[in-house]
Structure 1
Amino acid sequence: MQIISYNDLKNIVNTGDVISIAALSVGNLPVEILKHLVEEYDETRVPDNITFIIANDISDYTDGYDLDSFVKRGMVKRLITSLLTASPVTINAIKNNEIEAYFYPQGVIATQYRNHSDSSPGVITKIGLNTNVDPRSSGGKVNDITDEDLVSLLEIKGKEYLHYDFPGVDVALLRGTYADEKGNIFMTHEAHLGEGYNAAAATRNNGGKVVVQVKEIVQSGNFRSTDVFIPGELVDYVVVNKNPEYHKQVMQTYYDPALSGDYRVNDIQAQFIELSSRKIILRRSAQFLNEGNVVSIGFGINNELSNLLIEEQVEDLVQLNIDTGVFGGVIGSKNNFGMNYNLDARMRHDMTWDFIYNGGLDIAYLSFAEIDRFGNVNVSSFGNKMSGSGGFIDISQTVKTIIFSGTLVVGSETICENNQLIIEREGESHKFVENVQNVDFNAAYSRELNQQVFYVTERAVFELVDEGLKLIEIAPGLDLQKEILEKMDFVPLISDELKIMDEDIYQNNWGKLKQSIKN
């Protein structure tokens, strides 16, 4: 291990390199390294023609030393990622065919590094079959200039698999809290552990270089050997952060010891959700929970499920999981995303996907952008929006029960009176369409996997059956034809035993989730 200055980076990162970053938002993001690379480009016009491999969404939310800063300078040739929500410049560049781009399942990207060895042919998995990632569809290619096939279809013992062929990594740009004198990396203050270990190992195996940004160099022996996250043998260079703004734990703060699990906050207050369509959807969705369930919480509306469980005093009856490696505790939502307190456990990002792939989850709560008459779901590309699906495909193809949650119509406004739902202003854009623009969840394949699938809105609940989407419940007070069927682009199957949704969830105070879960 060699301690270097940021100016030395110009001798390490070269034009045409494949670069790996293992971060989530600003967490684990080596912002000061990125800052010096773009400043070097501004002076010398190198490096450029870069390929980035990034499992998760990243952004520094300050001066713009992140993915967008590279793309707007024309430094990027290709991007391989799962999710883009905080990089508007990059999204526009993809839409305008200015850079090549692939959207792949997050878990596949996070775990693929371990397959970069002489003994492995790359990633061979069923994850992504029969979705847009499948080469019989787009193969994960996002725009017209992206033409190289990185995923192919295989048959092994009569069963179909996908083979992902990721490029080898030339430089891993990683972050830790401390490095000791031998180069061992410790994640003491980090809110998430990430997949940095496997990224470092794959990079070294490829003959590449591993660079880690840390807060400080500490004397060897100051920390327990069991706390080493990346051993020094896998680290080539360490740079020491000079400005706290470029080494923030999460976007809201430089360092909060409770977020790294150093102590528990006993008086923390979760922000309860006001009575609204969101709360109604969350309440009805939560009624599918059983005591002891291991629950995957997806991004979007379901990120607030933790708040509802705390409000209903049932958070101890189930075990929450976020695919970043977070188990239990208070899960941050909206602007507090990533601020997770009182965790039961946190794991490396890649290890969390091992847990998920091996049947660790009982039920998953996922969002949707579009649903069609077959029950297929699009979450990644619709209208003029392009975001990728994150871990949606990985989770939806491995879990036993799936609850898709969202409003029936975009932009409608509702109120609740006398335990009934009232549509005050009707929305314009339908989410239940004849055919989805992009298949992130394949309903027919789900039936082959024997999954239970429900679609929960504030107005109605649907179930996936062999014949397609079946309406099984409607909200109290609504007209079936006018306020549900006419707001869909197709007529679903309708249950012969069509029920009224639980009227109690349409009032300010509920208090019945514990009974529901225990029963």
Structure 2
Amino acid sequence: MQIMSFNDLKDIVKSGDVIALAALSVSNLPVNVLKHIVKAHDEFGNIDDLTFMLANDISDYRGDGYDLDSFVSRGMIKRLIMSIIIGSPKTIGAIKDNELEAYFVPQGLLATHYRNSSNKFPNMISKIGLHTSVDPRYTGGKVNNMTKEEIVSLLEINGEEFLQYAFPKVDIALLRGTYADSEGNIYMNHEAHLGEGYGVALAAHQNGGKVIVQVKEVVQHGSFKPTEVFIPGELVDYVFINDDPKYHRQTFQHYYNPAISGEYKVLDMPEPANKFSIRKVILRRAAQYLSEGNVVSIGFGINNELSNLLVEEKVDDLVQLNIDTGVFGGMIGSGQNFGLNYNLDAKMRHEMTWDFIYNGGLDIAYLSFAEVDQFGNVNVSKYGDRMNGCGGFIDISQTVKKIIFSGTMVVGSQSTCNDKALVIEQEGHSKKFVEHVHNMDFNASYAKELGQEIYYVTERAVFQLTDEGLKLIEIAAGLDLEKDILANIAFQPIIDDELKVIDQNIYQDNWGGLQQCIKGNGSNY
């Protein structure tokens, strides 16, 4: 391990390198390293044609740091392999305009493949991604017309179908820790989550590449327990000591908050309860599918407010929440605080979370939808002018036993609640229940083969995936079936012979009925 000056980066990172990062937003993002790579390019112009691999979205969001947009705006990136992109508008624009190659692949596969990236395990082989956009029978994960190379292929082993993912070898691992000791061991004491940095370091080291770690400080060897080492010094080539706190933020919101890194517990939820809204109504109905003892995966979007609802309803102790960054239990932040967990039960490496998920650790998943079609297929990654990517959606939706897809029925509609009934004040402008989804992130036919239990919850109606197709099973009080439901669906769903009214008690400011629902659904203990 060498302690280096940031100016030395110009001699380490080369044109054509494959660079892997292990970060989420600014958490674990080595922003000062990125800054000086960009500066080296601006001054010497010899760092181009880069491939970036990242399992999660990265962005400084504040405009005072360095992220994907800093590289893309300079034409430094040739190819992106990622699961999700939200916070990098210039990069998204470049992908749409065919200015760089891009792939969207399942987050869990990307995060876990690093540790097997050797000649002993030549490629990643998995059932994850079958019959979705990642499958080469669809797009093979290719996002635009410029992207030609196939990195996903179809295999048959003992009569069963699998996908083989051929990710490029890592030349440079750009990582971050809180401290390095004098032997090069890396510690993550102040970080919000651990990430997959250990696996990324393994992959770069095995390939003869370089492992670069940005830290706050170098401490004497022995300052921390051996069990606290996240990356052993034998894997670390260069350590760079950050000299500006704004380039080493724990989260978008905080330079450092010890409650987020799990160093102490908070007594009260550090966010207010969700205001009464249509989103809250949807969450209330969706939450009624929980059973006591459930291990619950919380997805990005509307469902990241579920934790707040559970705290408000005083049922957060009845289930265990999980998000796929590697944190278990506790209270999950919502909105811009999503991914920031308080009062954790456990904190694990990112790839270990996917081990947990792939091996049946989850009971139920709460996921969003952008489009649902007549067969029950779901698109979450490419719709309208949006190009988000799949994130961990595909991994989770192909491994969990029960899925609740949540969202409003019509884009742009305005609704209120009156006397425990739903009132559509202004109809929306775009249908989300379409004849055919524009991108296949969830394949309903495959879900039936897997024996999954699937529901689609909106403020107006609830649907269930059945062997016969998508079935309308509940409707909100106050609505007209033809005018408010069927007229806003691009197909004719199956209508349950015993069509029920959604629990009217959830359409009012104060509820308090979730505990009875969860305990009434049985127990997983």
Same topology, TM > 0.5 = yes
Question: Is the contact made by 2:174 and 2:213 (CA closer than 8 Å) also made in structure 1?
Answer: yes
Q: How does 1:352-431 map to 2 (within 5 A)?
A: 352-431=353-432
Residue number in structure 1 paired with 2:176:
175
Residue number in structure 1 paired with 2:12:
12
Q: How does 1:329-340 map to 2 (within 5 A)?
A: 329-340=330-341
One-letter amino acid of the counterpart of residue 382, structure 1? Y
Question: Is the contact made by 1:250 and 1:338 (CA closer than 8 Å) also made in structure 2?
Answer: no
1:340 Cα shift? 1.5
Distance 1:36 1:275 in 2: 46
1:282 aligns with 2:267: no
Question: Is the contact made by 2:296 and 2:364 (CA closer than 8 Å) also made in structure 1?
Answer: yes
Distance 1:459 1:92 in 2: 35
Describe the superposition over 1:262-317 as per-residue Cα deviations: whole angstroms up to 9, x where unpaired. 10111344321122110110000000000000000000000000000000000000
Residue number in structure 2 paired with 1:47:
47
Q: How does 1:184-203 map to 2 (within 5 A)?
A: 184-203=185-204
Residue number in structure 1 paired with 2:319:
318
Distance 1:256 1:509 in 2: 32
Question: Is the contact made by 1:455 and 1:463 (CA closer than 8 Å) also made in structure 2?
Answer: yes
Distance 2:506 2:64 in 1: 44
Q: How does 1:23-38 map to 2 (within 5 A)?
A: 23-38=23-38
1:337 Cα shift? 2.0
1:64 Cα shift? 4.2
Distance 2:516 2:271 in 1: 21
Distance 1:284 1:469 in 2: 18
Question: Is the contact made by 1:270 and 1:310 (CA closer than 8 Å) also made in structure 2?
Answer: no
Describe the superposition over 1:406-457 as per-residue Cα deviations: whole angstroms up to 9, x where unpaired. 0000111111111000011111110000000000000000000000000000
Distance 1:376 1:30 in 2: 38
Question: Is the contact made by 2:31 and 2:65 (CA closer than 8 Å) also made in structure 1?
Answer: no
Residue number in structure 2 paired with 1:102:
103
Residue number in structure 2 paired with 1:226:
227
Residue number in structure 1 paired with 2:523:
none
Residue number in structure 2 paired with 1:21:
21
Distance 1:512 1:384 in 2: 39
Residue number in structure 1 paired with 2:306:
305
1:466 Cα shift? 1.5
Describe the superposition over 1:50-96 as per-residue Cα deviations: whole angstroms up to 9, x where unpaired. 00000000011232410110001000000000000001100000000
Distance 2:87 2:190 in 1: 23
Distance 1:304 1:347 in 2: 23
SS of residue paired to 1:267: coil
Question: Is the contact made by 1:304 and 1:333 (CA closer than 8 Å) also made in structure 2?
Answer: yes
Distance 1:270 1:170 in 2: 42
1:330 Cα shift? 1.2
1:119 Cα shift? 1.1
SS of residue paired to 1:278: helix
Q: How does 1:19-168 map to 2 (within 5 A)?
A: 19-61=19-61, 62-168=63-169
Distance 2:341 2:65 in 1: 25
One-letter amino acid of the counterpart of residue 379, structure 1? V
One-letter amino acid of the counterpart of residue 34, structure 1? L
Question: Is the contact made by 1:270 and 1:330 (CA closer than 8 Å) also made in structure 2?
Answer: no
Describe the superposition over 1:116-139 as per-residue Cα deviations: whole angstroms up to 9, x where unpaired. 112112100000000000001100
What are structure 2's unaligned runs of at least 5 residues?
521-525
Name which of structure 1's ranges 66-75 and 37-46 shifts more when overlaid on structure 2.
Answer: 37-46
One-letter amino acid of the counterpart of residue 353, structure 1? W
SS of residue paired to 2:510: coil
Q: TM-score, normalised by structure 1?
A: 0.99
Question: Is the contact made by 1:24 and 1:57 (CA closer than 8 Å) also made in structure 2?
Answer: yes
Residue number in structure 2 paired with 1:240:
241
Residue number in structure 2 paired with 1:439:
440
SS of residue paired to 2:112: helix
Distance 1:85 1:399 in 2: 25
Name which of structure 1's ranges 361-370 and 461-470 shifts more when overlaid on structure 2.
Answer: 461-470
Question: Is the contact made by 1:15 and 1:47 (CA closer than 8 Å) also made in structure 2?
Answer: yes
SS of residue paired to 2:125: strand
Distance 1:218 1:269 in 2: 33
One-letter amino acid of the counterpart of residue 18, structure 2? V
| Residue 99 to residue 359, structure 1, CA distance change in 2 (3 Å) | same
1:214 aligns with 2:215: yes
Describe the superposition over 1:184-207 as per-residue Cα deviations: whole angstroms up to 9, x where unpaired. 000000001000001001100001
1:46 Cα shift? 2.0
Question: Is the contact made by 1:3 and 1:237 (CA closer than 8 Å) also made in structure 2?
Answer: yes
SS of residue paired to 2:518: helix
Distance 1:253 1:460 in 2: 39
SS of residue paired to 2:310: helix
Describe the superposition over 1:184-243 as per-residue Cα deviations: whole angstroms up to 9, x where unpaired. 000000001000001001100001000000000000000000000000000000000000
Question: Is the contact made by 2:65 and 2:247 (CA closer than 8 Å) also made in structure 1?
Answer: no
One-letter amino acid of the counterpart of residue 487, structure 1? N
Distance 2:480 2:267 in 1: 46
SS of residue paired to 2:341: coil
SS of residue paired to 1:446: helix
1:383 Cα shift? 1.3
1:45 Cα shift? 1.2
Distance 2:327 2:276 in 1: 28
One-letter amino acid of the counterpart of residue 48, structure 1? D
SS of residue paired to 1:263: coil
Question: What is the number of equivalent residue pairs in this alignment?
Answer: 519
Question: Is the contact made by 1:303 and 1:332 (CA closer than 8 Å) also made in structure 2?
Answer: yes
Distance 2:91 2:337 in 1: 24
Residue number in structure 1 paired with 2:457:
456
SS of residue paired to 1:302: helix
Percentage of identical aligned residues? 68
SS of residue paired to 2:154: strand
Distance 1:448 1:31 in 2: 44
1:342 Cα shift? 0.8
Q: TM-score, normalised by structure 2?
A: 0.98
Question: Is the contact made by 2:279 and 2:302 (CA closer than 8 Å) also made in structure 1?
Answer: yes
One-letter amino acid of the counterpart of residue 511, structure 1? G
Distance 1:19 1:240 in 2: 20
Distance 1:64 1:233 in 2: 30
Distance 1:447 1:337 in 2: 31
What are structure 1's unaligned runs of at least 5 residues?
none
SS of residue paired to 2:390: coil
